[in-house]
Amino acid sequence: MDLTGLSSYTDYMTDVDRVATENLQNQLQKADQAKGTDDDALLDACKQFESYLWEQVYKEMTKTTKLFSSDEDEGYASNMVDYFKDSVIQEISEQTASQGSNSLAQMLYEQAKRNYNL
């Protein structure tokens, strides 16, 4: 079983997750520092957090499906499918976060407004 391409893919996805986390932390810090933050910016940061949370949930869910795959499925094509699957998961996560008025983002937004007297 040749796993030479897997380590670079794993490193790439780890870096992508790290950058997304850092961007989200920066936005939340900016929202925290500026008490007069625009409501839209705060709501956007909450939606991004919810999207990131859903993305992590979906990625963990897809890991369970790999239990039923064979070792022969590894290779370049499998790595490309995983790459595009991650893109689809990100898109689905954004859509999940933007649906409904009782979303986690909305609750976080309302709680932040109460805590920071916005």
Tens-binned pLDDT, residue by residue, of the chain (118 aa): 455 556 666 777 777 788 888 888 888 777 666 655 577 888 888 888 888 998 888 888 887 776 656 656 566 667 777 778 888 888 888 888 777 666 788 888 888 888 877 6
Q: Which of 85, 27, 90 is nearest to 57 (CA)?
A: 90
How many other CB atoms are there within 10 angstroms of residue 68's CB atom? 6
User: Residue 67: what pLDDT?
Assistant: 61
**Pure H helices in the chain:** 4-33, 39-65, 76-97, 104-115
Write down how long the chain is: 118
User: Residue 1: what pLDDT?
Assistant: 47
**Cβ 66 vs Cβ 117: under 8 Å:** no
CA separation for the pair 41, 72 (Å, rounded):
47
